[in-house]
Chain A
Amino acid sequence: DSGVTQTPKHLITATGQRVTLRCSPRSGDLSVYWYQQSLDQGLQFLIQYYNGEERAKGNILERFSAQQFPDLHSELNLSSLELGDSALYFCASSVSGTGDGYTFGSGTRLTVV
């Protein structure tokens, strides 16, 4: 157990729907990162939050949004889902915002049908 908790582990939903993925970082970690892993795109960075504030944005679609709450857990919202959004979504956390160490959760596997 890495200490980073992601729920749910699996999610199956229909096209056009909206889902929320949740991540609880390791105790004491202030930064949360979201990544998408797919067969064709590999591991892609989506977004970083540090202590509640957005710090960096990657190739995140406008249909996707995220936030980090005061208790430091984070949620990734995916809306108007398309078949191509099917992927493994990882959350990672780190103590600082400088990126000298990242701990990953076990991921949420999203299947859009």
Chain B
Amino acid sequence: AQSVAQPEDQVNVAEGNPLTVKCTYSVSGNPYLFWYVQYPNRGLQFLLKYITGDNLVKGSYGFEAEFNKSQTSFHLKKPSALVSDSALYFCAVRDIFLTGGGNKLTFGTGTQLKVEL
């Protein structure tokens, strides 16, 4: 089964500074990787995905992620953090069921990002 790991429960960064939220993956085959953000009492909002192509993926709200096959990582980055970026961030990988042809997202445990003035 595919899996992702988010090694940090919380990341603190000052507004205006660059931010990185880490994610490593374990897959067989080519990974489909995703980042989602969850604000309090809200659903999961899609930020970006990597399926194939350029290793640097640009997404919503100025976020980007770098796919690194040798390090099996897919870290989320933003050059300049905003207080409004404070939220819970989830890395996820698509997992395929061999029988039935279905699929699902397997999520990491989430990283709480806190951006302070």
A and B pair up: yes
Q: Is the CB of B90 within 8 A of A43?
A: yes
With CB as the reference atom, state the residue of chain B lying closest to A50. Answer: B102
Interface of A is mostly: strand
In whole angstroms, what is the CA distance A51 to B109 when docked?
Answer: 30
**Set of chain A residues within 8 Å of B43, measured between Cβ atoms:** 2, 4, 90, 104-107
Q: How many A-B residue pairs have CB under 8 A?
A: 68
- In the assembly, what is the distance between CA of A2 and CA of B46, in Å? 9
Q: Is the interface of B mostly helix, strand, loop or mixed?
A: strand
Contact of B110 with A45 in the complex, beta carbons under 8 Å: no
Of the four ranges (under 10, 10 to 19, 20 to 34, 35 or more), the interface on chain A belongs to: 20 to 34
Q: Does A71 contact B (CB under 8 A)?
A: no
> Once bound together, how far apart are the Cα atoms of A57 and B36, in whole Å?
22
The answer to whether A101 and B45 touch across the interface, beta carbons within 8 angstroms, is no
Collect the chain B residues with CB atoms within 8 Å of residue A97's CB: 101-103
* B107 & A48 in contact (Cβ 8 Å cutoff): no
Residue from the set B41, B42, B90, B105 with the largest chain A CB neighbour count within 10 Å: B105
**Residue A102 is within 8 A (CB to CB) of chain B in the complex:** yes
Contact A2 B102 (CB under 8 A): no
Residues of chain A within 8 A of B32, CB atoms compared: 99-100
Given A56-B97, A99-B94, A102-B34, are A45 and B104 also a contact pair (CB < 8 Å)?
yes
Using CB atoms and an 8 Å cutoff, list the residues of chain A in contact with chain B: 2, 4, 33, 35, 42-43, 45, 48, 50, 54-58, 90, 92, 97-107, 109
Residues of chain B at the chain A interface (Cβ within 8 Å)? 32, 34, 36, 41-46, 49, 51, 90, 94, 96-97, 100-107, 109-110
User: Can you name 14 extra interface pairs (CB under 8 A) apart from A43-B90, A55-B97?
Assistant: A42-B110, A50-B102, A55-B101, A56-B104, A58-B104, A97-B102, A97-B103, A99-B104, A100-B49, A101-B49, A102-B46, A103-B46, A104-B36, A109-B41
